[in-house]
Chains A and B, each alone.
Chain A
Amino acid sequence: MASITIDGKVFEVDVKNNLLQECLSHAMDLPYFCWHPSMGSVGSCRQCAVIEYANEEDEKGRLVMACMTEPREGARYSIAAASKFRAQAIESIMINHPHDCPVCEEGGECHLQDMTVMSGHTYRRYDGKKKTHNNQYLGPFINHEMNRCITCYRCVRYYKDYAGGTDFGPQASHDNTYFGRWQEGPLESEFSGNLVEVCPTGVFTDKPFSKHYSRKWDLQSSPSVCTGCSVGCNTNPGERYGTLRRIVNRFNDEVNGYFLCDKGRFGAEFVNSSERIPVNMMRDSHNAAPIQIEPDAAKEALKNAAKSAVGIGSPRASMEANFALRELVGEENFYAGIATEELDMLNKIIDIYQSKPVKIASVKDIESSDAVLILGEDLTNTAARLALGVRQSVKNLGRQMGADLNFPIWHDAAIRQLAMDKLSPLYILSPHTTRLDDIAHTTHISSAAHSAKIGMAIAHAIDSTAPDVAGLSKEEKALVNEIAESLKSAKQALIISGTSSLEPALLDAASNIATALQSGDDKANLALVSSESNSMGLALMMQGNAKSLEQAMSASSKTAIVLENDLYRRAPSADVDAFVNSLDNLLVLDHLKNRTGEQANLVLAAATFAESSGTFVNYEGRAQHYYSTFKSDSNIRSSALWLSDKHFNEITAACAVAIANCGAIAELTPGENYNFAGLKAPRQHHRYSGRTSMRANISVHEPKQEQDEDGVMVYSMEGVPAIKDAAVLNSPWAPGWNSNQSLFKFQEFAGGPLKQASNGQRLLSNNSAEKTWYEAGNSDDTSEGYKVFPLYHLFGSEELSAYTPAIQEKATSAYVSLSPEDAAKLGLQASDGVQVEHNGAVPFIVRESIQPGTVGVSVGLKGLNFQDMSAAVSLDKAADWKNPELWRAANIIVSDKRVEGAD
């Protein structure tokens, strides 16, 4: 800490931060563009200029950029004295900027607007010709409007330096400076959507949002959690006229920070899908035509059926919905709704987190690790935000090199120059190359079972009391020792694995390695990725028992209630068909039409995350609450409220009491008695327009305000906005700060944790210091045929986001991936298809990294059901092959050289 004087006032500041950060932290309005809390300072935009005085006598001082200045003890600065310079700087920045705010989508939440007003440049003197540029097509997610660019370079620093993208960059110089791709085409980074928030003006805007655009102040929004994967990134959905318009990032210091992946940002519009189940439908027999029934009648039918039913829960439904189903059918009749294999793995993860001497790693912990081992998890496709975190972790060597030379941590350009291509070690064991290979020290190609063996050997190399394995090659033994050394010498090692490869031995190996690394209080970070938004919550609900979907299907009940779950994604089609046919009565609660729902006798229209509240438990066992964003049509209800007569908060409270480890889920919201000066938190901005007239086409009478199910927020603009109390922070706003940059007003210091809002609650923890080991299994696979491994796609593999048009544009139909040797052996030509046993024919691509004798099969994509695959399959050239309409080979972005396949 140091004490400095700014414009005559004395402030205590943290010398580790730069002066700009400290000015913002102390609630001073100092304009800036190029600085970003996650990306540090480069001092290029000249907006945060202040005057620094040499001593008490100095009256003139000198101009310094606050973002590039380390606060010195006793130093004297002035923000006011440099105001003319800042106004001039912004005037020159604005010379080529168009006067298009009224038609620009950034208008109203534009950092450039805010800064221009703040700097005092209110009158434009330049009347010359402005430079104009051509815009590019950048894919289905991002609009490009280069004329608005003010060349702050934030996009490049984010896209290339932070997110590791290679297909975007700055071109030309001075007036011609251009930010784009060298040739038009979709941006390839899985994190491109953050450009929308990183760009301080309207160069990069949200393309799906622009198709049904609304100003920020006209959007109704609430704190929410992404449903795309098990990371549980915090989001802010925005709604207008009953449809979900967009998703923006909601800051959570420990989880997603400032950034989302593109599935999270652009994958939520399934809420508006034409495939939504809009009303409740009932039919007497399988073959009868369904008829619509009223909600109350539907609920009555559900309750009557529940008396003798099995309840099948879901890893994508909230804790409350799963718990309400468990209560309705009784604990003994409640089943997890996922395959035994997966449930066992989730139970194992809970066991590891609770009993092994490891530290459960949040995204923030991942970012601060300095040696990483990924065991068989294709992170970019299964938990993308973690992959972005790993990209930050490899920069820690550079940061350490900088720290050794006393470089401030925020000095981004200096640290990058110093580090050049030196990265902290990252090792990946995977059956195919991954999108993180460019930063990996080594990517070792091996099957999941074999990777687990290597992992066991690594644990043994670190701690000889851990079980050893036989059967590794000489090269692999050398690799084992190299990885063991690298993890041992790290300050904070991190092991990542997960359930996606369906290989439990990988979890054993990951646990053993992390356990081996423990010494005293030093524990290794461990992140075990699960598959869906509430997989961990569902597993917690099962409390260690093994009641999987298979058991539900063999329970010989004649009635089943299926909660938000397409069973065909969980078990082989033949088994699900047999189960459904054995039932007299199938009741389904879901948002979207699917194969299970089509066969139901009663379909209840379930609210999505945007229309209901609930709790998800992420991969680390962190429970997070999401508030409904808007009230749905009266036919649609939250699953929890379909299944229970209780008040929503009572369901949460009962779940917290009944389910072990889940006590904290009742503490995630301020509670229904929450108020600030007697008022609730509004979902609508205080500038929300059209309230009295927006329903005038239906009725000129303004309806009563909708009631909120958990009673913390209101569906209204009335109430005390977050600026006073940020406990329920939705869309940040502060006077003079209309853009998302206003977030720092809610943080303990600029870039730090939020003052009042909750980061969620970790449900699992341990104080274990006892080393216990998993034994190495003998998992040598002897099945005949091509050994199958799953290929996940960020765009398309996940069930809900696949209903979103923009995601569909980035997805492809099902396919297999083969080694060049096997493609030759099968005699495949570019235009051929591959017959996968009796499961149908699909297109193929050939990848150099794939081992002969193995085949990658896409998961969740249209055209082939991964659940129908056996461990090994026979492959043949398909007869009379024509590529399906949805096949888009160019959307498959891989990091090994792709040999020409069926394009």
Chain B
Amino acid sequence: MTNIIASTALKARQLTEEEIHEIEHEKTHYPYAQAVGLEALKIVQKYQGWVSDESLLAVSEYLDIPPDDLEGVATFFNMIFRRPVGKNVILLCDSVACWMLGCDDLKAHITSTLGIDYGETTEDDMFTLIPVPCLGDCDKAPSMMVGRELYRNLTNEKIDQIIAGYKAKA
């Protein structure tokens, strides 16, 4: 039994049935339950939007991984969110090709439109803006992702349409 000590007042969140079901499915792919740590964090994030301390502790207890090990994994990967994010996460590419084709201007446009800088979330919790080093889409630069959708050959106008689209869906 791993030694999980009550040195923190935090209590683990109860994992949902869907989360447990998906984690159990992932476990079948690996020889050790401990190997599923990263996948389990992704599953939790899929359902909760981010990985709270309570969620991290829940995964830790469920898979018998010390929370410190899991935190190492969670913080190593940029796309595991350890702070709450908006409903739609905008990943704006700022690597070389996008930079040459004006991603800085696009960023300024998003910032002025939504009132958020990198790492910030709009007050209505609709959007979070995060830079990303490369989306592997350099031939269609500048590009960005919103949620799981990729948007390419961006201009300020296109961005306005995309944002309006997400706002309309809400």
Contact = CB atoms under 8 A, between A and B. Distances in A.
Interface of A: 166-173, 176, 178, 181-183, 185-186, 188, 421, 433, 435, 437-438, 890, 893-898, 903
Contacts of A170: 72
Contacts of A167: 5, 7, 66, 68
Contact of A183 (B8, B69, B72): B8
A421 B47 CA distance: 32
Nearest to A182: B71
Given A169-B69, A171-B72, A890 B6 contact: yes
Contacts of B7: 167, 183, 185-186, 188, 890
A600 to B, nearest CB: 42
B123 to A, nearest CB: 26
Contact of B3 (A168, A895, A903): A895
Contacts of A166: 2-3, 66, 68-69
A183 B53 contact: yes
30 contacts: A166-B68, A166-B69, A167-B7, A168-B68, A170-B72, A171-B71, A171-B76, A172-B75, A172-B76, A173-B76, A176-B75, A181-B68, A182-B68, A182-B71, A183-B7, A183-B10, A183-B67, A185-B7, A185-B8, A186-B7, A188-B3, A435-B3, A438-B2, A438-B3, A890-B7, A893-B3, A893-B5, A897-B1, A898-B6, A903-B6
Nearest to A437: B1
B19 to A, nearest CB: 20
> Does more than half of chain A's interface fall in helix, strand or loop, or is it mixed?
loop
Interface string B58-70: 0000000011111
A822 B67 CA distance: 31
Given A166-B68, A167-B66, A178-B75, 6 more contacts: A167-B5, A167-B68, A169-B69, A169-B72, A895-B1, A895-B3
A167 B8 CA distance: 12
Interface in B134-159: none
Nearest to A181: B68
Contacts of A186: 7
Interface residues of B, number: 20
Contacts of A188: 3, 5, 7
Interface in B1-42: 1-3, 5-8, 10, 32
A149 to B, nearest CB: 15
Nearest to B31: A420
Contacts of B68: 166-169, 181-182
Contacts of A898: 6
Given A166-B68, A166-B69, A171 B75 contact: yes
The 7 closest A-B CB pairs, nearest first, are A182-B71, A166-B66, A171-B75, A172-B75, A169-B68, A185-B7, A169-B72
Contacts of A894: 3
Nearest to B32: A421
Contacts of B53: 183
A427 to B, nearest CB: 17
Contacts of B2: 166, 438
Nearest to A188: B5
B37 to A, nearest CB: 12
B71 A169 contact: yes
Given A171-B72, A171-B75, A437-B1, A182 B67 contact: yes
Interface-central residue, B1, B6, B32, B56, by most chain A CB under 10 Å:
B1
A253 B56 CA distance: 42
A170 B70 CA distance: 10
A435 B5 CA distance: 12
Nearest to A891: B7
Contacts of A890: 5-7
Contacts of A421: 32
A526 B130 CA distance: 61
A123 B43 CA distance: 49
Interface string B98-110: 0000000000000
Interface centre among A166, A173, A181 (most CB of B within 10 A): A166
A163 to B, nearest CB: 13
A898 B76 CA distance: 31
A175 to B, nearest CB: 13
Contacts of A903: 6
A419 to B, nearest CB: 14
B159 to A, nearest CB: 29
Interface in B68-91: 68-72, 75-76
A176 B77 CA distance: 12
Contacts of B10: 183
B160 to A, nearest CB: 33
A893 B2 CA distance: 12
